Structure 1
Amino acid sequence: MDKLITTGLVNNAYGSSSKLQGGAGAIASPEEAAGVNFAELVRNAAQNTVTTVREAEQVQQAGLVGEVSAQQVVEATMEMETTLRLAVSVRDRLVEAYQQIMQMPI
Structure 2
Amino acid sequence: MVLNVKWSALLALGLIGCGQPVPPDKAAYVGEWQDKTMYLLITQDGSVRYKRLRAGASTSVQGPLQGFEGPHFKVGIGPMSTTFVVSKPPYRDEENQWKMVVDDVVLTKSDR
TM superposition score normalised by structure 1 = 0.26
Greater relative contact order structure (CA < 8 Å, 6+ sep): 1
In terms of fraction of residues, the more helix-rich structure is: 1
Say which one has the larger Rg.
1
TM superposition score normalised by structure 2 = 0.24
